[in-house]
Amino acid sequence: MRTAYSESGRHQRRPTALVTGATSGIGLAVTRDLATDHDLILLARTATDLDELASVLGEDSGAGVRTCAVDLTDDEALATAIGELDLADLDVLVNSAGVESSGPVEELSPTRWRDVLDLDLVSVAHLTGLLLPALRQARGLVVMINSGAGLRARPGQALYCAAKAGLRALTDVLREEERGRVRVTTVYPGRVDTPMQRRAHRERSRRLHAEGSKARHYRAADHMTTTSVASTVRLAVDMPVDAVVEDLSVRPADML
């Protein structure tokens, strides 16, 4: 996997935030929100998407933006990329990248288990560990974007629930290990209208159709927007350094 860097925007004395999964879904909404008052380091797989986003953010907000196109599951490439960033300090880390996988246990292959756990859990632990020295220096904040699946198990969601429950345990341990040095917040969103959610709905619908059952039609209005989740992240980011919101659950209000 190629690792690429670019810079856009005017350098300012702002806090710095690093966001994974920055070009889509919740990660993109968080990135746009933080650009108003943070310099940014954006991680995703595709360099062209990152460069386009960096250009737009630099023009619209004046934020300093660095991008890094890297496969988070490539341990050596990720370590090299973070080393090349040469971060003395880091104010905010938002771990947003992830993937969902559904299906009954008997249909999940070992390869699929490893692929999802590698991105949703192992790479998060690896990246966070690499950045802890810089986070400690800034008395920074780690935000883990989890899911309601990390709190409740559902049939047909064994892999995703296992990954997110593991992320919850990782985050809880990290919080205690770093207490007094780094603040740690978990955000547990409910249904969010994202490309990943739409793909997951299509997959579930195909499975139900094959079983002779009828699936519910997907309605964006039944879901939160990604900007609502970004507002939840903002709540954690804006807390004074002497306090931390440790767990935030946010659900659709069903008001529309």
Q: In whole angstroms, what is the distance from residue 10 CA to residue 157 CA?
A: 44
> What is the three-class DSSP state of 100?
coil
| 160: annotated active-site residue | yes
Beta strand pairing call for 4-8 and 65-69: antiparallel
Residue 27 one-letter amino acid: G
Picking from 63, 157, 149, the residue whose alpha carbon sits closest to that of residue 101 is 157
CB 186 within 8 A of CB 171: yes
- The 3 state secondary structure assigned to 8-35 is ECCCCCCCEEEEECCCCHHHHHHHHHHC
Q: Which residues, 6+ apart, have CB-to-CB distance to 119 below 8 Å?
A: 72, 73, 97, 98, 99
Which one from 5, 160, 188, 218 is the annotated catalytic residue? Answer: 160
CA dihedral of residues 167, 172, 174, 175 (deg, nearest 10) = 140
Catalytic center residues: 160
